[in-house]
């Protein structure tokens, strides 16, 4: 929901979860013109999203990693 609110083209947002060695990798795919909005100035937005994923994982005793896939 957060990623869809950040981008202009919310139809092209694709989020997948991939299990890897005790961690869950969250792959985020967006339209090419929206990648900059997800990264943010100096990477602040993606850093905040990764912090939210880490906090959510802590509550569930899981490890979540967030990655933007082009």
Q: What is the pLDDT of residue 22?
A: 85
Residues of the chain with pLDDT under 70: none
Instruction: Report the C-alpha gap between 31 and 10 in whole angstroms.
Output: 9
- What CATH number is associated with residue 55? 3.30.300.20
Q: How many domains does the chain have?
A: 1
Domain extent, residue 20, equals 2-68
Q: What is the pLDDT of residue 50?
A: 93
Q: What is the pLDDT of residue 70?
A: 79
Q: Note whether 15 and 61 are within 8 A (CB).
A: no
């Amino acid at each position: 929901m957060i990623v869809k609110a950040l981008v202009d083209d919310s139809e092209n947002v694709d989020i997948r979860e991939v299990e890897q060695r005790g961690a869950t990798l969250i792959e985020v795919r967006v339209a090419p013109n929206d990648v900059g909005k997800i990264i943010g100035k100096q990477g602040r937005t993606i850093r905040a999203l990764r912090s939210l994923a880490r906090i959510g994982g802590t509550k569930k005793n899981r490890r979540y990693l967030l990655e933007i896939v082009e």
